[in-house]
Amino acid sequence: MKTLMVTSGKGGVGKSTVAVNLAMELSLNGNNVGLMDVDIHGPNDHVILGIEKPEIMTDGKHFQPIEVGTLKFMTIASAIDSDTPIIWRGPLKAKLIDQFLQDTMWGDLDYMILDFPPGSGDEPLEVLKVYDNKVDGAVIVTTPQKVALGDVEKIMNFLKKMKVPLIGIWENMSYYTCPHCGKKHYLFGKHTDELAKKMETAIIARIPLIPEVGEKFGAANLFLTRSQGDVRKEFESGVKKIVDFLSTED
């Protein structure tokens, strides 16, 4: 099984959209995939999957994950109301993450996708502890704005310090293509290129700013897996780079 962290130092950059679409794409390609929403305070992977109220069963000892085809999914959203805040300190969060990872009937997986909240706090530290610091790779999601990239650089330095292999940067909202003339407009600049060079890593995908993502969010927002044209080509290219990287990890 290959373990993949999808993370970012900044919220609102489309990290969960990438994680869920990536997990679904791998699943549709015939893989057995696990997806865990590690965001305790603001889980929303179930929304992107189009699951209104997640229900996770248990036999008293083990959890039975939600199944979407060959995709198996776990989220704290199954245990709380959508408008109920989680007011927990680190030990409680660590215990839940540990239970979800080790007491769930995941079965034989080809990939485990871990969707993290922003930052380098309790959640990634607990997951790394469970996996004995042996995670196969991390994808860092960002948008091109400088205000996002400053926080993204911090999470990349955290991952390097924890010896997690960096697969590369996934950039959302890279540009906007004019529907009339076809010209690409880089509304937020190309600052990600500077960060990639500084951190000696690659930009593995550049997803343009597309109205469909905002319009469909809140329903089944699997737009990337169902996209066409240039968006589809860029998404497939990014997925292939991730798979190729993980296939070389022992």
- Please work out, in degrees rounded to the nearest 5, the angle formed at the alpha carbon of residue 161 by the alpha carbons of 156 and 167: 45
Extract the residue ranges of the chain whose pLDDT is less than 50. 217-220
pLDDT at res. 221: 60
Rounded to whole angstroms, how far apart are CA atoms 207 and 214?
14
Q: What does the pLDDT read at residue 220?
A: 45
pLDDT at 21: 92
Strand partners, 109: none
- Beta-carbon neighbour count of residue 98 at 10 Å? 14
**Amino acid 219: pLDDT:** 43
Give the pTM.
Answer: 0.90
In Å, how far are 35, 83, 124, 179, 235 from 38, measured between CA atoms?
A: 9, 18, 8, 37, 23
pLDDT number for residue 218: 44
Domains within the chain, CATH numbers bracketed = 2-247 (3.40.50.300)
pLDDT of amino acid 158 = 95
Closest CA to 169 of 184, 156, 150: 156
